[in-house]
């Protein structure tokens, strides 16, 4: 199995890797003068996915892109990856080929070769991906400033609509794009480069806009006000039709549905390819402003209900 993975993953070369798959560890020469960004993500059967929902190729792609999304959110350049697979007995060599094929495809799309890892037997299928990237200036969650715009790139809520469609057994033109997005989330590394140049704070949307914007608001000690109309316009017809087909208000999918791995950032000026969906204000929490200008709190972390200044 290790030989198969070495042949597959070894076809993609990463700069500075002097010892790769097959030894106790990978040996790497880091580029001089840059910081490293390091993340790990685990996808577990029954928790993050069911095999009825997607192919093993999709799982390989999806697990890799989910981990790479953290690098994009920091504005980092992908470098290389390790993958640790927990393989169930029923998977066999064909299953391993499918899973690792999807990983290799994503690694190529992200520009982040897999240079090592670990194989274990397991009772439930799991994929752990750890990635190293490099960066001049890492964008964190804590730098959003009152007056900043809030910007977004990529679909939000569409993957959640796709999952609901799969569970409901829905198909057809209204939900196909949503289902495809759940199975194969997009790689946003280029957008990460864009936000890396000017954003004050950023995050990837893995748990829904409300919750992830809430991380930025609370780390930045600021309020984020999101514009409902701007979010729905950003979602467009594709989201509206998928939401209708699965019977959920599109704004609920946007606020609560994750795993599109869109990027959200706070920045003072427009960013190429990003849509403005709100602004940063003095205060706390994440608020949704409707077309009448009325606001409701959609994420209350960092919000002190006894704050006398309010």
**Interface ranges with its own copies (CB under 8 A):** 18-19, 22-30, 32, 35-42, 44-48, 70-71, 73-74, 76, 82-84, 86, 115-118, 120-124, 126, 128, 130, 132-133, 135, 138, 140-141, 203-204, 219
| CB 48, CB 59: distance < 8 Å | no
CB of 236 to its own copies, least distance (A): 27
In angstroms, rounded to a whole number, what is the distance separating the alpha carbons of residues 55 and 171?
A: 17
- Measured from the CB atom, the residue of 178 and 205 that comes closer to its own copies is 205
CB of 207 to its own copies, least distance (A): 12
- Measured from the CB atom, the residue of 205 and 239 that comes closer to its own copies is 205
Structure tokens at 243: 């939401």
- Measured from the CB atom, the residue of 21 and 232 that comes closer to its own copies is 21
Q: Give the pairing of strands 77-87 and 114-121.
A: parallel
CA neighbours closer than 13 Å in the CB half-sphere of residue 6: 9
Query: Which DSSP category does 135 fall into?
Result: E
- Does an H or E element contain 302, and which? none
CB of 80 to its own copies, least distance (A): 8
- Measured from the CB atom, the residue of 133 and 250 that comes closer to its own copies is 133
CB of 135 to its own copies, least distance (A): 7
CB of 112 to its own copies, least distance (A): 13
- Measured from the CB atom, the residue of 140 and 235 that comes closer to its own copies is 140
SS3 138: coil
Q: Which residues contact 292 (CB under 8 A, 6 or more apart)?
A: none
| CB 189, CB 37: distance < 8 Å | no
Helix axes 56-73, 92-110, angle to 10 degrees: 30
In angstroms, rounded to a whole number, what is the distance separating the alpha carbons of residues 310 and 300?
A: 14
With tokens 């999304």, the residue in question is: 69
CB of 34 to its own copies, least distance (A): 9
- Measured from the CB atom, the residue of 219 and 240 that comes closer to its own copies is 219
With tokens 């981990």, the residue in question is: 67
In angstroms, rounded to a whole number, what is the distance separating the alpha carbons of residues 41 and 160?
A: 19
| CB 199, CB 274: distance < 8 Å | no
CB of 281 to its own copies, least distance (A): 23
CB of 45 to its own copies, least distance (A): 8
In angstroms, rounded to a whole number, what is the distance separating the alpha carbons of residues 304 and 310?
A: 9
- Measured from the CB atom, the residue of 204 and 279 that comes closer to its own copies is 204
In angstroms, rounded to a whole number, what is the distance separating the alpha carbons of residues 265 and 140?
A: 10
- Measured from the CB atom, the residue of 135 and 179 that comes closer to its own copies is 135
């Amino acid at each position: 199995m290790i030989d198969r993975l070495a042949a597959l993953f070894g076809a993609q070369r990463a700069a500075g890797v002097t010892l790769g798959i097959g030894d106790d560890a990978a040996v790497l020469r880091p580029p001089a003068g840059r910081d490293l960004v390091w993340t790990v993500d685990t996808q577990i059967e029954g928790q993050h996915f069911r095999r009825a929902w997607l192919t093993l190729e999709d799982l390989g792609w999806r697990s890799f892109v989910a981990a790479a999304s953290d690098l994009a959110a920091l504005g980092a350049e992908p470098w290389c990856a390790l993958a640790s697979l927990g393989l169930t007995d029923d998977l066999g060599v064909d299953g391993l080929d499918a899973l690792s094929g999807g990983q290799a495809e994503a690694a190529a799309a992200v520009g982040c070769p897999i240079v090592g890892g670990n194989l274990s037997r397991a009772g439930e299928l799991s994929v752990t991906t750890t990635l190293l990237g490099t960066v001049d200036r890492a964008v964190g969650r804590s730098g959003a400033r009152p007056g900043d715009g809030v910007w977004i790139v990529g679909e939000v809520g569409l993957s959640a609509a796709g999952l609901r469609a799969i569970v409901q057994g829905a198909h057809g033109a209204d939900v196909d794009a949503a289902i495809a997005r759940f199975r194969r989330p997009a790689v946003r590394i280029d957008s990460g480069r864009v936000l890396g140049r000017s954003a004050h704070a950023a995050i990837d949307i893995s748990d829904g806009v409300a919750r992830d914007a809430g991380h930025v608001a609370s780390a930045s000690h600021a309020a984020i006000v999101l514009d409902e109309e701007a979010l729905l316009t950003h979602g467009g017809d594709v989201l509206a039709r998928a939401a209708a087909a699965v019977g959920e208000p599109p704004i609920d999918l946007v606020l609560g549905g994750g795993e599109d791995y869109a990027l959200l950032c706070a920045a003072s000026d427009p960013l190429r390819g990003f849509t403005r969906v709100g602004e940063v204000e003095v205060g706390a929490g994440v608020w949704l402003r409707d077309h009448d200008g009325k606001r409701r709190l959609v994420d209350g972390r960092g919000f002190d209900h006894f704050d006398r200044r309010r």
